[in-house]
Amino acid sequence: MNSDVSIILHPDYRIGTVDRRIFGSFVEHLGRCVYTGIYEPGHATADAHGFRRDVADLTRELGVTVVRYPGGNFVSNYVWEDAVGPVEHRKPFLDLAWRTVEPNTIGTDEFLQYCEREGLEPMMAVNLGTRGVDAAAALVEYCNGQAGTRWADLRIANGREEPYGVTLWCLGNEMDGPWQIGHKDAHTYGRLAADAGKAMKLVDPTIELVACGSSSMYMDTFGEWERTVLSYTYDIVDHISMHAYYEELNGDRASFLGSATAMDRFVERVVASADAVGAQKRSDKRITLSFDEWNVWYLESRFGDATDLPIQRDAPRIIEDRYSGLDAVVVGDLMATLLNHADRIAVGCLAQLVNVIAPIMTEPGGDAWRQTTFHPFATTAHLARGEALQLKVDAPTFATERHGGVPAVTAAATVDPDTGALALFVTNRTDAEQTVTLRHPGARAHLEGGRAVLADHDGARETQKAAEAYGMVDALPITHGDGTITLTLAPESWTAFHGSLER
């Protein structure tokens, strides 16, 4: 398919300010994300605290802002009190979510101090699976409380005088999922989240709370779950969560390339569900979205079921997906979708950061390196600044089995009001080159250049060497005309253009 595509970009048509917290990621006590991922004492690059400098440097290069912790499914049977205080007194516990012996060497203080040193904003999750109001409020007090009360004083006794000031808090994780330890129906969870959230905000009214939304748009309870949970929590929480993983199933490349359209519909449906509750309550408050788990994950085709895992210890290799060029194109397109909902998405977390379905891989005692998906994330986090623009994209659609008709070309753009820096992200989902005419009425636009990721047909880059051989390439030539710019997009590609926009 090769057809003309048109994009109109106008400086006055804006979606909203891009919240930098959409460039978040996720560190779960799962597999090798923590142990031999971010943390490996004895590694050649380990800092004084035992954290790998090579991983921290790649995290910085990736442009990550927020990091969600400690899970994920892990949090739903976590006893945070067991992982604070002197390390030699901490006891290992059997994490039932991933059937792994957790040594508790890294806990709340180690993680929060790592975030401080690395300039990352922590997003903490509380256990609403096996625990409840008490443990959740106590953890907020431990992290954010001033001296003079039990849990804040415990933090001080453990060597940390200053409160950490953690703003973002998840009220549990995927509580709609039957796989979750302590899984609940929407009414039970909604009441518990409201009670826990109320207590947590009584400890610290400055925090922002995330209620669990659906684990996927394809859950049977989707929609009704959001409506019910928000009917209990609307006045207490700030955000509702969304989780989505995409994969190529049964060789259906077209549907996989259209994944971001599914993400787009998911966002619109959650916004509609949340706003319907707000309307019924005659509330002026708008709930925003925390897309706190998203990525390409070969969950159905490669992973299967966590209950089949044997009990393991010493940071086992679990879900260490290796990514292809095609996966990188889809990740770029998914990121553009987050930008196109800048008015409603406040937080986004690429799940996860290291080793577990991650842009960064490591070997114990060895190197750290970038997977293919690293490149579109880092490029977007670096270029997308300021305001997201409301583009008008006219492109033909193609049919997919999973999502029906999807656009052949998608786009997102941002402009930095302070500098006039323009960033334009365009995905060509077809196997032919596409010509795009970009019109920019009411402004002078100039694109200096672009870099692209291509969906080569090489398949997943299984080894470090193969992953490192993959990189971004220069965009095809850009032609400037009078009020128009002509772009050529490589087949199955995601391209980030940079330039300027002036009135």
Measured from each CB, the residue nearest to ligand AHR is 72
Helix orientation angle between 133-144 and 186-203, rounded to the nearest 10 degrees: 30
Site membership for ligand AHR, residue 71 (CB under 6 A): yes
Can residue 247 be called a binding residue for ligand AHR (CB under 6 A)? no
Nearest to 75 by CA among 212, 190, 222: 212
Within 205-224, which residues bind ligand AHR (CB under 6 A)?
none
The whole-angstrom separation of Cα 434 and Cα 351 is: 31
Per the CB < 8 A criterion, the answer to whether 331 and 376 are in contact is yes
Q: For residues 494 and 450, is the Cβ–Cβ distance under 8 A?
A: no
Following DSSP, what letter does each residue of 16-85 receive, concatenated? EEPPGGGGEEE--SSTTSTBTTTB-TTSTTB-TTSBBHHHHHHHHHHT--EEEES-SGGGGG--GGGGSS
- Is 293 designated active site? yes
Q: For residue 212, give the amino acid letter.
A: C
Other C-beta atoms lying within 10 Å of the C-beta of residue 279: 9
Interface residue with ligand AHR among 65, 73, 340, 379 (CB under 6 A) is 73
Q: How many residues does the chain have?
A: 503
Q: Residue count at the site for ligand AHR (CB under 6 A)?
A: 9
Q: Could you tell me the smallest distance in angstroms from the CB atom of residue 297 to ligand AHR?
A: 7
Closer residue to ligand AHR, CB minimum distance, 172 or 450: 172
Catalytic residue among 102, 121, 248, 293: 293
Task: Identify the residue whose tokens are 């060029």.
Answer: 325
95 interacts with ligand AHR by CB under 6 A: no
- Give the range of 71-79, 84-92, 160-168, 382-390 binding ligand AHR by CB under 6 A: 71-79
CB hemisphere CA count around 353 (13 angstroms) = 36
Question: Which of 297, 470 has the CB closer to ligand AHR?
Answer: 297
In the chain the first and final C-alpha atoms are separated, in Å, by: 35
Tell which one of 64, 334, 351, 490 touches ligand AHR (CB under 6 A). 351
Interaction between residue 244 and ligand AHR (CB under 6 A) = no
214, 259, 324, 352: residue in contact with ligand AHR (rule CB under 6 A)? 352
Find the binder of ligand AHR among 5, 9, 28, 385 (CB under 6 A).
28
Element (H, E) at 271: helix 259-280
> What one-letter code names the amino acid at 63?
G
**Binding window for ligand AHR (CB under 6 A); candidates: 70-78, 401-409, 436-444, 488-496:** 70-78
174 as an active site residue: the answer is yes
Residue 72 in contact with ligand AHR, rule: CB under 6 A: yes
**Residue (216 or 500) nearer to ligand AHR, CB:** 216
Q: Is there binding between residue 293 and ligand AHR (CB under 6 A)?
A: yes
> Which is it for strands 484-489 and 478-480: parallel, antiparallel or unpaired?
antiparallel
Q: Could you tell me the smallest distance in angstroms from the CB atom of residue 284 to ligand AHR?
A: 32
CB of 247 to ligand AHR, least distance (A): 13
Nearest residue to 75 (alpha-carbon basis) of 172, 207, 188, 201: 172
Q: Pick between residue 72 and residue 213 the one whose CB is nearest to ligand AHR.
A: 72
245/497 with CB nearer ligand AHR: 245
- Residues between 170 and 189 with contacts to ligand AHR, criterion CB under 6 A: 173-174
Task: Tell me: does residue 264 bind ligand AHR (CB under 6 A).
Answer: no
Catalytic sites, residue numbers: 174, 293
